[in-house]
């Protein structure tokens, strides 16, 4: 099973997104662990994740997050504003599947 971490400012809005991604994965028979946390908690999870997804409102932090993830070979991607704003778990699941094999 692949482990995906979603980060946003406080971890609140990404919690709803993570839930919708898990539901979308279950609906099509895919197994993926998706956790939502604050960006300040990244160090606690970086060693155990396969992908780091970032809320679009944290785009300004992308370079720093990539630097933090690089030693662990963890890809980092921004979630599209449209998918994030509508909490479209299926759309973000498609994004995940383009980056890592589920």
Active-site amino acid positions: 8
Q: What is the DSSP string of the chain?
A: -EEEEEEESSSHHHHHHHHHHHHHHHHTT--EEEEEEEGGGHHHHGGG-SEEEE-GGGGGGHHHHHHHHGGGT--EEEPPHHHHHTT-HHHHHHHHHHHS--
The length of the chain in residues reads 102
């Amino acid at each position: 099973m692949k482990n995906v971490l979603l980060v946003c400012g406080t971890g609140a809005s990404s919690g709803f997104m993570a839930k919708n991604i898990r539901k979308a994965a279950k609906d099509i028979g895919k197994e993926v662990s998706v956790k939502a946390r604050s960006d300040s908690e990244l160090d606690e999870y970086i060693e155990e994740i396969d992908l780091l997804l970032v809320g679009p409102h944290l785009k300004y932090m992308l370079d720093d997050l990539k630097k933090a993830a690089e030693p662990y070979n963890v890809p980092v991607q921004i979630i599209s504003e449209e998918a994030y704003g509508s909490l479209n778990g299926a759309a973000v699941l498609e994004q995940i599947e383009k980056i890592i094999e589920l």
